[in-house]
Structure 1
Amino acid sequence: MTTTNLTKTPDAAPGAPLIPLPLGTARILTLAGSAVTLVGTFLAWTWSQDFPGNLTVTGYPGGLQTLTLTGALLTLLFTLSGYGIKGLRWLTPGGTHSPVRLLALGTLGTTLFAMAAISVVLGGLINLDPGAWISGVGALAATVGAFALPEDAHGETPAANGWERFRQSLKAPAPNTPEPLPGWAEILVITGVFAAGLFVFAYGIDIEYPELFIGFLITVGFTFAAFGKAGLPRRTSQLAGKHRKVAMLAALAAAICFPFTQTNDQYALIGAQVLIFATVALGLNVVVGLAGLLDLGYVAFLGVGAYTAALVSGTASSAFDVKFPFWAAALAGAAASLLFGVIIGAPTLRLRGDYLAIVTLGFGEIFRITVLNLNGKTGPDITNGSNGVTNVPDLNIFGFDLGIQHDVLGFTLTRSANYFLLMLLFTVIVVLVFRRSAESRIGRAWVAIREDETAATAMGINGFRLKLMAFALGAALAGFAGSVQAHLGYSVTPEQYQFAGSVAPNSAFLLAAVILGGMGTIAGPLIGAALLYLIPAKLAFMQDYQLVLFGLALILLMRFKPEGLVADRRKKLEFHETDQQAASDDALTGAGTGVAKAGA
């Protein structure tokens, strides 16, 4: 009698490595290469102090050396986790070898970039000291060893060529049951994650020269890709969901601590501008991410709020001799933007797709041209035309003047730090509004309209009314942020509110921030906006090539992460449906083979 075996089919065997070496040899080579790289960072990389960061000191890494050191340490830790060490195994719940490859590759990229930058700035490879060569050779050896490790197996059939295997290493890991931790340890992990995020953000803003910032981007990019492949973001989100209040408090505490970490007022100003950009992007996420309405003129609502707050601020350049308290000015800015949202949305939201995008693009240009012509010559004298509304006074809230320094607990809060904390409060309010809206019946109706408006209408949803509500809410949130922007920048001019350009925020960059970060999520637009504002601010020397690099980055993103950096489950399923279907077919094929063998 034949017995049929219907037991669970095991995961597919690991694929052959790109470089044929025994597993033990590959691990030893990776460990040894990372150790050599680490040692090289404690030696001088160049003899001249003309290269920024002072890489001439032996025994004290600085500048780009610290980034290479960080990458080498992480490569060592993740490689050791493959030996099953209990404390380190927690690092790789989703896979062991793919994160090591990404970390080793990032370390090699940072090191080679540093060596190339030293050679270009100082005039040749002759300016490289032995420490740079030692770290370079070590990083190369570690990368060779990492790519000699076998592929992680999660039920997928290993790709036939190296490029497809590398693409597989960038995909999200398969679910894996993590080792349980005590409650106090989970809270400690959550706190540590947000503390690390604060450190990385503060370090990036505090970078003074472009060579270090480019190395920082290389290291952070590969590190986060490795963490994603290791399954750490998924595990952290599970812990944050389990301890939601602790996670919210930790995130808020980390954000509040940021201005206390900055000694340069210029960097705190960048932080405040990033928050304004991020808050407006989150407002646009209501329109694009939840309701699925393509708005190409959204920056105009930011301008409406900013102009409204500036005109009622009491400045001498205002056409109105009034001075509202800030809370009234902020509400006036939000109300004016909401009103314009309704006025523009009511006749246009019956359009869909590209037609709606063209109409909103036209509205954004109409707003900019209108405030440009309200100069007393081609129209009423209200906005001072191209000169804008200037000399907007600093805010004074309950006797607290945001325009002067304040000493708090031994720390000095500068003007920019004061506005950062105020904008942080506004960001929290916008996040709460977005979250409550997304989780409500209206939010679910918005998602239904985004997915299929015809089906949603057939189920009794009033599509026009709900789309108008999304348009109005998004506009009000943008006007809310604009009221702070007017006071932070001292002036409001038409050139600040264009569809595209080198000055952020503009409509194109706001939309890109939502798509880059992840539509329909909270963290996605915040991260996307921070990246799109911070990178141009730190790489000003590449301003002439900004749009080219921006387009290239979008192409790469659409190729590898079409769902965005932070994607919800629906988007992840939508954009990776082919991969999941292939994995399902492979599993069915494997199960059928097992049944056939059992029957035989």
Structure 2
Amino acid sequence: MSRLPTLITPELQERYTPVGRIVALVGCAVSIAAPFLPWAWSGDALDNMTIAGYPSPLQMIALVLAAIIGGLLIASWLIKPDRLPWRIGWIRGAKAGTFWLLLYIALILVSIAVELGGLVNVVYGGWIALVGAVLVFGGTRFLVPERQPTLASAVAKPWIEILAIVALMAVALFGTAFALNHDDGGSFVSFLAAAGGFIAILFRTGVMSWLTGVSERHRKVLILAAFVVAFLFPFTQNGSDANMSIATQILIFAATAMGLNMVVGLAGLLDLGYVAFLGAGAFTAAVLSRSAFSTVNFHPPFIVVVLISGCVAATLGLLIGSPTLRVSGDYLAIVTLAFGEIFRITMINLDGQAGPNLTNGSNGIPAIPDLSILGFDFGKPHVVFGITLGRFSNYFFLLLFLLALVILVFVRLNASRIGRGWVAIREDERAAEAMGVNVFGLKLFAFAGGAFLAGVAGSVKAHVDVSVTPDQYVFLTSAFLLAAIVLGGMGTVLGVLVGSVLLNLLPEKLRFVADYRLLLFGLLLIIMMRFRPEGLVANQRRQLEFHEEDEELVERVQEELDETGEMREATR
């Protein structure tokens, strides 16, 4: 793994470790005290940082982050490594957290300056917080980090591990609700930096490795907790449809990306026209709906519409895949890109003039009515436990159920012989064919299966969006779907979910830089490809593929594999 060059040599670290620890602890004390001072001249910036003695929520986050870093530094000083059965990365975690603390405070000060019209509006408390963060960051540079943590093999009592999963899910729920309820762009970006700091500390101390092991031992509890957290999310929005509309689009995007992940992440087929399958499902559902602009007089129940939409998209996948999957690499990418454009133009031409009147051409099919399943009207608000759930909250629950089914299909296929065949094709197509793998058949199945999942997602999207037009399904959407998989981590479920959330949430919260959103997105991808090409949430195989030269990573992964094997043997 590539590392940034440093001017602080090991000799300097060893010589100035005591001084560095003192400087870092002083910086932590300053950073903890600074939130009790005013940071901004006016309360119009961020969340009102003008009152002395009463920290705002964003100031409290800085205080907590600084307190955690200080606790790690004190623990590394007082607790001897031989007193614990496992190695914990006290200094590693502190060093990782200091960077994010400095970034967090710097972003807050910049936001205050931008929103109030200059750095003159940053008062003394903000500058003291910045000085404290600089002291912490500089002091920890002289501390020598410990060996790699070994918490991955730590096993606690089952009730403690289950409690840890519940606590983690609760933090994720309230953290997400807190972030979404901040419409201010500066607050949102600053919160992301703070969240990055907490996550970096978990990784560098080894706690995340322990949580990974806990998740493996209590997989059913983790899945249940995640589902409960997602189910409770609409109840944290006080009946607001603003954030729930974003949440529904994220779930639609994630369900669609999961199908593309089957094609790209597992089978290794580069598809740049995948949005056509999503559009096929949406147009099929729109045509079969009871809209006044529908062009056919056939309106089956919604469950039938979902199946028809998926089958139509899968048929298109078979039609485009049969003649084109004989090619691979760049040629396949060009063919699928052309197919995406052909689909959009075809939908425009089905207007009754250039072709049969099926989609109303570029006008599409508007006024698609809301779903009504078993007497439940998704378009009307409902009161549950005294909380009003609006239209998008209703669709959120339906999409949550749909996403659960899509993930189940993906996971089961990935663990089957079919999934192993896809991975073999992705790694080396010729070797897989020589070993008897039906390369063309599995490729075609991946294409059709991924198209089916996209068509199912599109059938719900048509009712959520109320209207369907050809201009909604352009190449840029395919590019974003592919970017979500690459950014999150190809071949993984959690990676696709993370990538989908980031690529849908960030544009909505960064409207204050609307002219530069694509530029920032491009820079983010460049940084990711440079420092973490395997994605944010990558499996060990792909991580080793991209970082074969990193001996420390290879040794750590080998240790984790050995420890996992020993735990499995012990539990038999």
* TM-score > 0.5, shorter chain as reference: yes
3-state SS of 2:454 partner:
helix
- Per the alignment, residue 115 of structure 1 pairs with 109
Alignment map for 1:45-444 (pairs within 5 Å): 45-62=39-56, 64-83=58-77, 95-154=89-148, 175-176=150-151, 178-263=153-238, 264-444=240-420
- Per the alignment, residue 598 of structure 1 pairs with none
Question: Any conservation in 2 of the 1:364–1:499 contact (CA below 8 Å)?
Answer: yes
- Per the alignment, residue 530 of structure 1 pairs with 501
Whether 2:446 is the aligned partner of 1:446: answer no
- The letter of the residue matching 1:262 is Q
Q: How far does residue 437 in structure 1 lie from its aligned partner after superposition?
A: 0.2
Once residues 321 and 313 of structure 1 are traced to their aligned partners in structure 2, the CA distance between those partners, rounded to angstroms, is 9
3-state SS of 1:394 partner:
coil
Count of aligned positions: 546
Q: How far does residue 583 in structure 1 lie from its aligned partner after superposition?
A: 7.5
Question: Any conservation in 1 of the 2:371–2:378 contact (CA below 8 Å)?
Answer: yes
Q: How far does residue 448 in structure 1 lie from its aligned partner after superposition?
A: 0.4
Once residues 75 and 400 of structure 2 are traced to their aligned partners in structure 1, the CA distance between those partners, rounded to angstroms, is 38
3-state SS of 2:283 partner:
helix
Unmatched tracts of structure 1, length 5 or more:
1-13, 155-173, 501-505, 585-600
Once residues 579 and 18 of structure 1 are traced to their aligned partners in structure 2, the CA distance between those partners, rounded to angstroms, is 24
- The letter of the residue matching 1:351 is V
Question: Any conservation in 2 of the 1:16–1:151 contact (CA below 8 Å)?
Answer: no
Q: How far does residue 63 in structure 1 lie from its aligned partner after superposition?
A: 5.3
Distance 1:452 1:526, change over 3 A: same
- The letter of the residue matching 1:566 is V
Once residues 476 and 93 of structure 1 are traced to their aligned partners in structure 2, the CA distance between those partners, rounded to angstroms, is 47
CA deviation profile, 1:72-93 (whole Å, cap 9, x unmatched): 233223323324659xx99x95
Q: How far does residue 445 in structure 1 lie from its aligned partner after superposition?
A: 0.5
- Per the alignment, residue 169 of structure 1 pairs with none
CA deviation profile, 1:383-425 (whole Å, cap 9, x unmatched): 1122111111111111111111111122221111111111000
- Per the alignment, residue 460 of structure 1 pairs with 436
CA deviation profile, 1:342-389 (whole Å, cap 9, x unmatched): 111111111110000100001111111111121223222211122111
3-state SS of 1:297 partner:
coil
- Per the alignment, residue 157 of structure 1 pairs with none
* Larger deviation, residues 60-69 vs 333-342: 60-69
- The letter of the residue matching 1:574 is E
Question: Any conservation in 2 of the 1:93–1:177 contact (CA below 8 Å)?
Answer: no
Question: Any conservation in 2 of the 1:48–1:56 contact (CA below 8 Å)?
Answer: yes
Once residues 223 and 538 of structure 2 are traced to their aligned partners in structure 1, the CA distance between those partners, rounded to angstroms, is 19
Q: How far does residue 276 in structure 1 lie from its aligned partner after superposition?
A: 0.9
Of the candidates 453, 470, 485, which is equivalent to residue 477 of structure 1? 453
Distance 1:84 1:207, change over 3 A: same
TM-score (ref. length: structure 2): 0.91
The structure carrying a bigger helix percent of its residues is 2
Q: How far does residue 69 in structure 1 lie from its aligned partner after superposition?
A: 2.6
Distance 1:328 1:103, change over 3 A: same
3-state SS of 2:388 partner:
strand
Once residues 542 and 581 of structure 1 are traced to their aligned partners in structure 2, the CA distance between those partners, rounded to angstroms, is 40
Question: Any conservation in 1 of the 2:87–2:147 contact (CA below 8 Å)?
Answer: no
Whether 2:484 is the aligned partner of 1:508: answer no
3-state SS of 2:347 partner:
helix
Alignment map for 1:17-32 (pairs within 5 Å): 22-32=16-26
- The letter of the residue matching 1:532 is L
- Per the alignment, residue 559 of structure 1 pairs with 530
Distance 1:94 1:581, change over 3 A: closer
Once residues 78 and 532 of structure 1 are traced to their aligned partners in structure 2, the CA distance between those partners, rounded to angstroms, is 33
Q: How far does residue 180 in structure 1 lie from its aligned partner after superposition?
A: 3.2
Once residues 507 and 473 of structure 1 are traced to their aligned partners in structure 2, the CA distance between those partners, rounded to angstroms, is 17
TM-score (ref. length: structure 1): 0.87
Identity of aligned residues (%): 48
Whether 2:511 is the aligned partner of 1:540: answer yes
Question: Any conservation in 2 of the 1:17–1:151 contact (CA below 8 Å)?
Answer: no
RMSD in angstroms over aligned alpha carbons?
A: 2.3
Q: How far does residue 581 in structure 1 lie from its aligned partner after superposition?
A: 8.5
Q: How far does residue 328 in structure 1 lie from its aligned partner after superposition?
A: 1.2
Question: Any conservation in 1 of the 2:280–2:455 contact (CA below 8 Å)?
Answer: yes
3-state SS of 1:578 partner:
coil
- The letter of the residue matching 1:280 is T
Distance 1:388 1:85, change over 3 A: farther
Q: How far does residue 545 in structure 1 lie from its aligned partner after superposition?
A: 1.9
Whether 2:502 is the aligned partner of 1:498: answer no
* Larger deviation, residues 15-24 vs 252-261: 15-24
Distance 1:442 1:519, change over 3 A: same
- Per the alignment, residue 4 of structure 1 pairs with none
Once residues 45 and 291 of structure 2 are traced to their aligned partners in structure 1, the CA distance between those partners, rounded to angstroms, is 46
